Amino acid sequence: MSLEKTKIEIIKKTLPSERVFFNFNNYPEYTQDATEEIFVPDILFFAESENDIVTAINLCRENQIPFIARGAGTGYSGGALAINGGLLLSIEKMNSIKIDTDKQTAIVGPGAITGNIMKAAESKNLFYPPDPASFEESTIAGNLAENAGGLRCKKYGVTKDYAISIRGINSRGNILEIGHASPFGLLDLIVGSEGTLIVFTQITLRLIKKPVPGDTILATFNNAVNAASVVSQITASGIVPCIMEFMDKGAIECSNQYDPANAIDPAAALLLFETDGPNAKSEAEEIIKICRKLSPVILRRAKDEAERQTLWATRRNLSHAVKHVYKTKISEDVCVPPSRLSELVAFTNELAAEFEIDINSYGHAGDGNLHVNFLGVTGSERENIEIQDGVARLFKKTLELGGTLSGEHGIGIAKKKFIKDEFDPNTLNFMKRTKTVLDPFKILNPGKIFE
């Protein structure tokens, strides 16, 4: 989209000139996100206040300009891309964090970095559990938009479980305050709506007391299905580790190549566990017993904090590692019932053996959320065809196993052509009508999810 000169002039007269830009030569990062697809907006505006957002939305509505709110651009679904041009509003400067120790809450701006919220809470002996892999970069508004989970999600839940209330702006420019007591479950409707319904301006988050730390356990296996079976047995036992992460052979090799200093001996699969709380020690012992039944190659506890951090670096750096090693990366975050995880892992192994491209996977094993990466070395047309075929077959298998197409990355533009495979026509029509009612002007993040 290329805006008419008259609309450009209106924008220039209304928005503060020092924070509005029309040339992206100095701001190329705002034309893409983690998908690395490129879409150039017409306007970039750095908001500093709620009033800035109201003004920008009113301008967009009155002039029929697409409006896209953007956090840190760490998303993998294209949710923050200006696919139809328009005004891209960055909320990164609205990053305030206020901890209320009496109420055990954090009142934060939409641009607050998730990791900074965690640190602020921990400085008061409180705890904000959701920890997506991008927590050191991603904003809380982005986490809310996608309902991000993270490594701790099995035990502690996902972002929506900690959102007490949100304040935001709708496409009419009205300020809304929505809490858990709202009729119709409006808070649950808004969280995970990928920026298509309102724009967040302030969020109140629930915090909890910082749990007593337990053990970090590493287990590797010569059979990936055995590792997935361990996950199923631990789940069946009733134990809920704080973290239970899975990495296959390709993911281990990729992490080792990226960070040789912290390399782990090659294996078909790796599991990382962490326990916490009053039963942390006994749970760790039971996890070790279950692992031993399936013949691990390595089974050990971290002896100190330094070793613990080294082990977690292997998992935390995976997203960057894959980007470093491969030219093309398509990352899908499918989710199946934990009892079916071993079947999904077996299927991804079959795909990897069949295709010439590399495929590796890792994820939050406790809730069956598997990040499957389709990876190309040359970026050739042949590789791209295999990647697209692999993604389609992965989605089909996921739905056959009773799963969902996205655990935490959202639909955005990356998966919208597949959404009809998961939802029936009546349900899809109901979602579209809901969007129309709440955004009748069709300006908020258009072209995403099902449009």
pLDDT tens digits for 96-152? 999 999 999 999 999 999 999 999 999 999 999 999 988 999 999 999 999 999 889
- In whole angstroms, give the CA distance from residue 142 to residue 213: 28
Phi, psi of 206 (to 5 degrees): -80, 135
Q: 3-class SS at 290?
A: helix
Q: What is the CA radius of gyration of the chain?
A: 22
- In whole angstroms, give the CA distance from residue 354 to residue 215: 38
pLDDT class for 379, splitting at 50, 70, 90? confident
**Of the given ranges (76-85, 186-195, 302-311), which has the lowest mean pLDDT?**
302-311
pLDDT class for 1, splitting at 50, 70, 90? low
Q: In this model, does residue 179 exceed pLDDT 90?
A: yes
The token pair that represents 183 in the structure block: 């009729």
What's this model's pTM, rounded to 2 decimal places? Answer: 0.93
- In whole angstroms, give the CA distance from residue 347 to residue 166: 40
Average pLDDT over residues 170-198: 93
- In whole angstroms, give the CA distance from residue 35 to residue 418: 17
Residue-level pLDDT at 441:
96
More confident residue, 252 or 181: 252
pLDDT class for 277, splitting at 50, 70, 90? very high
- In whole angstroms, give the CA distance from residue 376 to residue 358: 7
